[in-house]
Amino acid sequence: MSDASEDPDASAVLAALPTESADPRYAGIDHLSTLELARTMNEADATVPEAVAAVLPDLAEAVDAVAERLARGGRLRYVGAGTAGRVAVQDAAECPPTFSTDPDLVKAVLAGGRDAEGGAVEGGEDDAAAGAAAMAAEGIGPDDAVVGLAASGRTPFVVSAVREAGNRGALTVGLSCNRGTVLSAAAEHALEVEVGPEVVAGSTRLKSGTAQKLVLNMISTISMVKLGRVYRNYMVDMRVLNSKLADRAVRMIGEITDADRDAAREALGEADNRIKTAVVMIEHGVGAAEADRLLAEAGGRLAGALAMRGGA
């Protein structure tokens, strides 16, 4: 596939995108002091939440659809290239420790493969065939959800992946930072977060990257809330992997059950560091095995397990 530099029409389309445009307001940043530059970037970044807020109704609809697929046993795949892909890797990587999800539940698929996670493999984004092949390799099917990320909304790898996922019956979401994009047309749910020109023209790791991170935070977190992996506002499925997290877990258990620290710590140990099990043990005065049985009967939802026998 030829790139934009070899195709005048494609080059003109790319140049016209707001995310690629040079904003005259920032024309003199190379002459600003460090403090002035910091203020300029901070002011630009402050506009991103407002841009995200403008798509919240569409985002909520997309998240409901994603959560429904996950609830019936499907998987969530983020597809991206360059900065967007690495933002996706970060969000996906946080799901197992935060929500105790299987590592295969939420994953990022990058143009250029694993080599692109820690370094630039920017040429991979032009390979449309590879995008479709990646969905085949993942075994994407009707129970799955695929979110394609591209600030421009035209990245061939991502667009092709989303189209192939849709052809396979998967739910598809297109997240871009321009209006009326090819990616939006290819996806069932279009999220167009219009952040405008970047402080450094075309550097979409700035406002665009921030917008993508905010949206992915919502997609993954809200989905996990709907799946019962959060109780009240506590991440009760958190993996206890170090001393800081152990202390956080003890505090959570104490705040939920009103148990003192010693009792909370003892229950956590007996529950093999599983917070929900420890809470049910304390609230119902049962052992770990019975607490696990109640949780299993409630589909893993702590609220349901507590309600079964008159818990909080």
190-218: per-residue pLDDT in tens? 999 999 999 999 899 999 999 999 999 99
| Closest C-alpha to 135, from 189, 171, 90, 93 | 171
266 flagged as catalytic: no
What pLDDT, on the 0 to 100 scale, is given for residue 114? 73
pTM: 0.89
194 flagged as catalytic: no
- pLDDT per residue over 12-54, tens digit each? 676 678 888 888 999 999 999 999 999 999 999 999 999 999 9
The percent of residues above 70 in pLDDT, for the chain, comes to 91
What pLDDT, on the 0 to 100 scale, is given for residue 242? 95
| Closest C-alpha to 168, from 212, 131, 196 | 131
- If one compares 26 and 121, the residue with the highest pLDDT of the two is 26
- pLDDT per residue over 75-93, tens digit each? 999 999 999 999 999 999 9
Confidence category of residue 11, pLDDT binned at 50, 70, 90: low
Quote the distance between the C-alpha of residue 144 and its chain's center: 15
User: What are 186's two structure tokens?
Assistant: 């290819």
Cβ pair 268, 246 in contact under 8 A: yes
Alpha helices in the chain (DSSP H): 8-16, 34-45, 48-53, 56-71, 82-99, 115-118, 128-137, 156-167, 182-186, 207-226, 243-257, 261-270, 275-284, 288-297, 302-308
Q: From the candidates 36, 43, 125, 290, which is the catalytic residue?
A: 125
The yes/no answer on whether domain 8-226 falls in CATH 3.40.50.10490 is yes
What pLDDT, on the 0 to 100 scale, is given for residue 1? 36
Mean pLDDT to the nearest integer, 120-129: 76
Mean pLDDT to the nearest integer, 148-167: 97
Q: From the candidates 20, 68, 94, 270, which is the catalytic residue?
A: 94
φ, ψ (nearest 5 deg) of residue 87: -60, -40
CATH of 243-308 among 1.10.3720.10, 3.20.20.70, 1.10.760.10, 1.10.8.1080 = 1.10.8.1080
The whole-angstrom separation of Cα 97 and Cα 79 is: 21
Cβ neighbours, 10 Å, residue 82: 24
Cβ pair 237, 276 in contact under 8 A: yes
Mean pLDDT to the nearest integer, 88-108: 96
Question: 148: helix, coil or strand?
Answer: strand
What are the structural domain ranges in the chain?
8-226, 243-308
**What is the chain's mean pLDDT, rounded?**
92
